[in-house]
Amino acid sequence: MPDSFMENPMPAPLRLGLAGLGTVGIGVVKIVQKHADLIALRAGRPVVITAVSARDRGRNRDADLSGYAWENDPVALARRDDVDVFVEVMGGHEGPAKAATEAAIAAGKDVVTANKALLAHHGQALALAAEAAGRVIRFEAAVAGGIPVIKALTEGLAGNRMRRVMGVMNGTCNYILTRMQNAGLPYETVFEEARQLGYLEADPNLDVGGIDAGHKLSLLAAIAFGTKVSFDHVELEGIGNVSIEDIRMADDMGYHIKLLGVAQMTGRGLEQRMTPCLVPADSPLGQLQGGTNMVVLEGDSVGQIVLRGPGAGEGPTASAVMGDVIDIARGLRLSTFGQPAATLVDPVPAKAATPAPYYLRMTLLDKPGALAKVATCLGEAGISIDQMRQINQAGEADDKAIVLIVTHKAAPADIAYALSRFAETGVVMGAPVAIRIEEV
């Protein structure tokens, strides 16, 4: 039979070198093994793992790794001739993860990573190196677990000028806050519960301090606004100071407290903040429970898009890794941050100045004229009051009262000025609490 009538041979397999065999790495192994035929059909070629690397070879990992070559050093794995795509799921923004990723690019490999810290700190340099070498770096798994938010920004919404990126991007923080709310438990109790369940990073501040979520926000901001990644300019405030009293009182006023990331380009520059905020209880963000993530994207043509799903875990994160791998197998080549790295601009960092309503809680001496003095401070700062309540709690001294105020929209600087004036009134006891109410 003439060659022209012969069937085309199956394309050569795409060969993966997998660095990291923790929760996510084993999830990748399981997907590759379980769905080999389906992946080959969808990718147009087989996808196989040829070699792996991890710190402890003898550990029981609940997966058959016998068919893969083993490298103790991830850099050696990245340089292997039988590896086309280096899959990095080790974590950490320095040390082996950085060295191995740089080695993979230098050796002509494409890279798929779940490492948000690596890209938040070194994304621009790595993107420049990859694009100069004709390689791609894909990182869907680094942001919001199984939610395809990177794909949405770089592909589906590529025709939009983005207005705002917003979301709950750390499942551990959302678990803690919703558990406090639903069970009426204080922060310290739920924090320890989360630690016992294994929800917290080895350094818990990465979670509860907002750092992990801040990494993710800085990556989304770079794609959305065409800027270099600028994690150092993300305003960070964790959830450690959120009290059960504020959760209860916010709930009573129709709000829930979330660790909310917001990035938007303003006339002053790029605002990036990851802070506790109040959101309407009946909004999609307000209804978000447990470890689930949600990202809200706003474009000038499409309006508002809401993406919701699991933000971590073996299956969801490995699913995101494999989505990137299959795109590479299909021949899809995209710039790391949605446009050539050399065209990304240095952002002008801007402190949050966009006006918003605020929730204020303070303890006042319960005597004539106390509320008037507080109202005067707000008025002098140009802040008007939308709602105000006085609460006399059981067990509280008769000469004290808790006052809750919801303001109309006010600039953060004006709120800060009013808070500084409260100390001069002689009627405000301790430090007032001020939490932004984000319009969603």
CA distance 413 to 317: 39
CA distance 80 to 146: 29
- CB 170, CB 332: distance < 8 Å: no
Element (H, E) at 167: strand 162-168
CA–CA distances in Å: residue 51 to residues 18, 78, 356: 6, 10, 52
- CB 29, CB 58: distance < 8 Å: no
Three-state DSSP state, 63: coil
Q: Partners of 258 in the beta sheet?
A: 277
Query: Identity (one letter) of the amino acid at 128?
Result: L
CA distance 15 to 430: 61
CA–CA distances in Å: residue 201 to residues 173, 206, 274, 384: 11, 7, 18, 42
Known active-site residue 216: yes
Kindly name the residue from 98, 109, 116, 216 that is annotated as catalytic. Answer: 216
204 burial (CB, 10 Å; 0-12 / 13-18 / 19+) is: middle
Element (H, E) at 312: none
- CB proximity list for 324: less than 8 A, separation 6 or greater: 112, 138, 139, 140, 141
Q: Name the residues annotated as catalytic.
A: 216
